[in-house]
Amino acid sequence: MSLRIYNTLSRALESFVPIEQGHVRMYVCGMTVYDLCHLGHARSMLAFDVVQRWLRVSGLKVTYVRNVTDIEDKIIRRAVENGETIRSLTDRMIAALHQDADALGIERPTHEPRATEYVPQMLSIISQLEEKGLAYRTEGGDVNYAVRKFAGYGKLSGKSLDELNAGERVAVQDGKQDPLDFVLWKSAKPTEPDEAKWQSSYGTGRPGWHIECSAMSCALLGETFDIHGGGADLQFPHHENEIAQSEGAHDKQLAKLWMHNGFINVDNEKMSKSLGNFFTIRDVLKRYDAETIRFFVVRSHYRSPLNYSDVHLDDARNALKRLYTALSLVAAEPVTIDWSHPSAARFKAAMDEDFGTPEAVAVLFELAAEVNRSQSSTVAGLLKALAATLGLLQADPAAYLQAGATVDAAHVEAQIALRAAAKAAKNYAESDRIRAELLAQGVELKDSAQGTTWTVVQAGA
């Protein structure tokens, strides 16, 4: 394969060869479902949606697992605050997650395990760690991981143990032998609801956050698999702790390659619920169509920080309209991509170099410019086919360009006919008047050899 991927573990681009020929096994950390997904979550889901799509385009079978964390402190707290069961809250949030992801054209993963379905597997790993002296029980009933007893700790984050600090979800508690130790099993608190409690040989309790992903990934993909992904914020402590747990228990490398997507920033700060600077996917969808949001995310490289603002989303919408305008000029001929075609070859080279979507999108604009010049249905077909690998440009061009119109389509078409008649009569002043009047109403006309089409713009633009 010609595909190269940046491996966070080695800090280098590596040629990608699946462990099992022709089959990629990929695990991506999903959402903690106590609230609606925000645009930062969308970025991670979209990044790995593009990854799995391109792996399939490259002729590989992909088993893609993206988990759901449905038991965790924030979930318990929110359910209690709402006066509802944990299951009611998580079912509702998972349904909302699917709704939002589907709207953005994010394909469903092969498996979407819930953490609560894998508690026996978590307890099995904890038992193995205890047998190997890597886990210990506390007087309070918790079971902790002994970080300093795992020789490889810190290899993903690239820091020594003395440099590392306990992460935001790893509160230092009494009974820890070291501040870096993290909880594998939490003893039940009397105030917590019964549905947050499981029976175990360690007493009644529930799993820690990190052990959940170790159990789900290994159960569904094996003890060693190809790709583990997630947001850059998960690199430490979550992914570092997953490595310690899984490799400590199984004496095998957990994932051959680690991928991390960059943040979406607002005013140069990471978008997050804890900072209160987040925009939910559905809030943004009230102002922008789903494909504009997808394009906004996809046209930037998955590892780069991405700044959120209305200006950037407006720019994405206008850029996407330019691509659809080219496709509106001629009926795109259905094509099977010939990867030896110069444009297709450049597109593939970009995607094969760590999923280089900015360069791939640039190829789409080159093809759009060629469609504008030649009005070739074959070139339009190639444009549409390449864009499909990114989940873009599959809507009807006219319908997309006219979406959101506040004027009656029949009225616009009647005005276009009147304008054509005026031009035929060489009454160019009237022709210009009709064009200007429609533009003031938010409708822009585009003339081509095939006739006149129209698109929606901001009124008065």
**Do the annotations mark residue 353 as ligand-binding?**
no
Domain boundaries, the chain: 4-261, 281-400, 404-456
Q: Mean pLDDT of all residues in the chain?
A: 92
Residue range 74-107, pLDDT digits in tens: 999 999 999 999 999 999 999 999 999 999 999 9
Quick one: 148 exposed, middle or buried, by C-beta within 10 A (0-12, 13-18, 19+)? Answer: exposed
Are both 4-261 and 281-400 of the same fold?
A: no
**Do the annotations mark residue 218 as ligand-binding?**
no
Report pLDDT for 173: 52
Rounded Cα distance between 147 and 161, Å, is: 9
Q: For residue 167, give every residue at least 6 positions away whose Cβ sits within 8 Å of its Cβ, in sequence order, or none.
A: 236, 237, 238
**Do the annotations mark residue 270 as ligand-binding?**
no
pLDDT classification of 3: cutoffs 50, 70, 90:
very high
In DSSP terms, 183 is beta-bridged to: 144
Rounded Cα distance between 228 and 260, Å, is: 9
> Can you name the CATH fold of 4-261?
Rossmann fold (3.40.50)
Residue range 102-138, pLDDT digits in tens: 999 999 999 999 999 999 999 999 999 999 999 999 9
Report pLDDT for 115: 98
Report pLDDT for 270: 77
pLDDT classification of 170: cutoffs 50, 70, 90:
very low
Residue range 322-353, pLDDT digits in tens: 999 999 999 999 999 999 999 999 999 999 99
CATH number of this structure's domain 281-400, picked from the four choices 3.40.190.10, 1.20.120.640, 1.10.10.60, 1.20.1740.10: 1.20.120.640
Cα angle at 325 between 321 and 329, to 5 degrees? 170
Rounded to an integer, the average pLDDT of 230-246 is 96
Report pLDDT for 413: 82
**Do the annotations mark residue 238 as ligand-binding?**
yes
Tokens 């010609």 correspond to 2
Half-sphere exposure of 421 (CA within 13 A, CB side): 6
**Do the annotations mark residue 273 as ligand-binding?**
yes
pLDDT classification of 407: cutoffs 50, 70, 90:
low
Rounded Cα distance between 37 and 213, Å, is: 19
pLDDT classification of 458: cutoffs 50, 70, 90:
low
